[in-house]
Amino acid sequence: MSLSETTRHTLIARLNEVLSQESLLSEAETMRPYECDGLSAYRQLPAVVCLPETVEQVQAVMRICHGLQVPIVPRGAGTGLSGGALPDSTGVLLVLTKLNHILEIDPQNFCARVEPGVGNLALSEATRPFGLYYAPDPSSQVACTIGGNVAENSGGVHCLKYGLTVHNVMGLKIVTVDGELLKIGGKTLDAPGYDLLALLCGSEGLLGVAVEITVRLLPCPEFSQVLLAAFDDVAKAGTAVGNIIAAGIIPAGLEMMDKLAIQAAEDFVHANYPTQAAAILLCEMDGATVEVSEQIMRVRQIMFDSGAFEVRTAKDEDERALFWKGRKATFPAVGRLALDYYCMDGTIPRHSLPEVLTRIAELSKEFGLPVANVFHAGDGNLHPLILYDANHDGELKKAEALGEQILILCVSVGGTITGEHGVGVEKLDGMCMQFKALELSQFLGVKAAFDLQGLLNPGKAVPTLHRCAELGAMHVHQGKLPFPELERF
């Protein structure tokens, strides 16, 4: 479906009144860079791209769209991996990257106020001279925006100890679908009323457009140290993760890479990883120097007791950075192994890691597609990367089918269909699998309270009941579910 020529003409004329020429794109060639996000298998040109420079312009664009009943899809840097910023052919793609100012750094209250287009890493770089940093650190942090992080409730290496985005956001200014400005939370802790702040974190652009965010900052730790442990068996590495946490130690980061991921990263950045290992764990401790040194010794022992054949502590800051460089570069490194890869995102209880990783390896063999695993092990947040070649007939479908089996596996052990990449367009069917009609009705009710006409990011994150009914998943409790593994739920 496309917008009628008359409506598009009116829309562009009205937008021209509030945006500069450079901030309004309507030709196919100029809009092409915005046709997809990180889930590039899905592509779509919008009717128009708007790049507002002020909050007032965002409000004006929203009012115009609301008046004409035109859909709006917000977008940050477009690094999302679930198609959340996929344009709507009948609507406006609202790109927030020109709103990229740090409005205030407040060292006394350990917080900062930023516009949504500020980059995640750029924020920590700006606050470092004050001895402060912003803890949630997605691996895409060099590119992704704080607005996108809020909308996806993003996680990262340090979220095990310091929480997800939702735990590090104190306030939001939101432009509603009809152009009003809503202020939620702020510099003080807690506020009366429903916790709308938590509701908006992770709402994937369906409830409003974040135009200002107050984030919590933390003091830079006195000392950080990372330890690399190598295992000859993935399941042993999974067991080590549970053993560390069970010992009452909360590492600042606890990441796992399997053989394929290790090899890819090593070939790419030469991090000096043990390439003979079936899995490695990177475990970072931070805090006071004495405390970190003591915890490193304890974790070292736990790694050996869990079956590690080698444990290395980074000898200096350069080696620590190198260990992490390998981990953070694994996605692009894996991209060198195959023409395409499909990045899955699911969460499982930590104790299920050994069983789930073993089953993923079996599924990889059954489907004949290699799977590299690199993930936030401490959070039980898996990122299996399924390697395939879209030029081969049917391989994309096969990769998607394998991905679906992995998500079914996650749910069947009590986990979820997404850890941090959101639902977007990618996991709508997964939502039918995870939730009952009653729960989905509540989600749809919340959406209607903010956006009755469904103009904000339509077709994303929350499936219609009709879609789920068609899929058959609504019949889970009548025993007609297409996923027999889930019958016990």
Ligand X SMILES: Cc1cc2nc3c(=O)[nH]c(=O)nc-3n(C[C@H](O)[C@H](O)[C@H](O)COP(=O)(O)OP(=O)(O)OC[C@H]3O[C@@H](n4cnc5c(N)ncnc54)[C@H](O)[C@@H]3O)c2cc1C
DSSP string for 27-61: SHHHHGGGS--S-TTS----SEEE--SSHHHHHHH
Q: How far is the CB of 251 from ligand X (least distance, A)?
A: 16
Q: Does 299 bind ligand X (CB under 6 A)?
A: no
Sole window of 64-72, 122-130, 202-210, 311-319 interacting with ligand X (rule: CB under 6 A)? 202-210
Q: Does 144 bind ligand X (CB under 6 A)?
A: yes
Sole window of 19-27, 190-198, 203-211, 288-296 interacting with ligand X (rule: CB under 6 A)? 203-211
Angle between helix 55-68 and helix 5-16 axes, rounded to 10 deg = 160
Q: Which of 74, 238, 326, 380 binds ligand X (CB under 6 A)?
A: 74
Q: Does 154 bind ligand X (CB under 6 A)?
A: yes
Q: For 234, phi and psi rounded to 5 degrees?
A: -60, -40
Question: What letter would DSSP give residue 416?
Answer: B
Contact (CB, 8 A) for 259 and 279:
yes
Q: Which of 212, 286, 379, 420 binds ligand X (CB under 6 A)?
A: 420
Sole window of 18-26, 69-77, 285-293, 439-447 interacting with ligand X (rule: CB under 6 A)? 69-77
| Structure tokens that stand for 343 in this block | 């990045």
Q: Does 481 bind ligand X (CB under 6 A)?
A: no
Between residue 30 and residue 49, which ones bind ligand X under the rule CB under 6 A? Answer: 37-38
Q: Which of 71, 87, 138, 459 binds ligand X (CB under 6 A)?
A: 138
Decide whether 139 or 313 has the Cβ nearer to ligand X: 139
Q: Does 139 bind ligand X (CB under 6 A)?
A: yes
Q: Does 62 bind ligand X (CB under 6 A)?
A: no
Distance CA 229, CA 404 (A): 31
Site string for ligand X, 438-477 (x = CB under 6 A): -------------------x--------------------
Name, in order, each residue with C-beta under 8 angstroms of 75's C-beta and a sequence gap of 6 or more.
34, 37, 85, 93, 94, 95, 96, 148
CA-angle at 436, arms to 154 and 359, nearest 5°: 65
Integer angstrom CA distances of residue 439 from 53, 263, 434, 462, 489: 38, 43, 10, 11, 14
Q: Does 88 bind ligand X (CB under 6 A)?
A: no
Start-to-end CA span in the chain (Å): 38
Q: How far is the CB of 31 from ligand X (least distance, A)?
A: 15
Contact (CB, 8 A) for 296 and 320:
no
Site string for ligand X, 162-201 (x = CB under 6 A): ----------------------------------------
Q: Which of 52, 84, 378, 430 binds ligand X (CB under 6 A)?
A: 84
Sole window of 145-153, 231-239, 268-276, 399-407 interacting with ligand X (rule: CB under 6 A)? 145-153
Q: Which of 91, 147, 171, 251 binds ligand X (CB under 6 A)?
A: 147
Q: For 381, phi and psi rounded to 5 degrees?
A: -100, 105
Q: Which helix (H) or strand (E) holds 125?
A: helix 120-127
Rg (CA), the chain: 23
Q: Which of 52, 148, 326, 378 binds ligand X (CB under 6 A)?
A: 148
Q: Which of 81, 118, 132, 372 binds ligand X (CB under 6 A)?
A: 81
Q: Report the DSSP pairing between strands 279-287 and 223-231.
A: antiparallel
Decide whether 52 or 476 has the Cβ nearer to ligand X: 52
Sole window of 47-55, 139-147, 220-228, 428-436 interacting with ligand X (rule: CB under 6 A)? 139-147
Integer angstrom CA distances of residue 247 from 59, 242, 352, 455: 51, 9, 17, 49
Q: Which amino acid is at 61?
A: V
Q: Please, how many CA atoms are within 13 Å of residue 128, restricted to the half-sphere of its CB?
A: 7
Q: Which helix (H) or strand (E) holds 225?
A: strand 223-231
Q: Where are the alpha helices (DSSP H) in 413-471?
A: 428-434, 437-450, 465-471
Q: Does 51 bind ligand X (CB under 6 A)?
A: no
Sole window of 23-31, 68-76, 253-261, 294-302 interacting with ligand X (rule: CB under 6 A)? 68-76
Q: Does 255 bind ligand X (CB under 6 A)?
A: no
Q: How far is the CB of 236 from ligand X (least distance, A)?
A: 24
Q: Which helix (H) or strand (E) holds 209?
A: strand 209-216
Contact (CB, 8 A) for 86 and 44:
yes
Q: How far is the CB of 276 from ligand X (least distance, A)?
A: 27
Sign of CA dihedral 317, 281, 201, 462: positive
Name the residue among 374, 421, 341, 148 with its Cα closest to residue 260.
374
Decide whether 171 or 205 has the Cβ nearer to ligand X: 205
| Structure tokens that stand for 192 in this block | 């009366």
How many residues bind ligand X (CB under 6 A)? The answer is 36
Q: How far is the CB of 326 from ligand X (least distance, A)?
A: 14
Decide whether 320 or 327 has the Cβ nearer to ligand X: 327
Q: How far is the CB of 468 from ligand X (least distance, A)?
A: 20
Q: Which of 112, 151, 197, 428 binds ligand X (CB under 6 A)?
A: 151
Query: Which residues sit at the interface with ligand X, rule CB under 6 A?
Result: 37-38, 73-81, 84-85, 96, 116, 138-140, 144-145, 147-149, 151-152, 154-156, 204-205, 209-210, 331, 420-421, 457
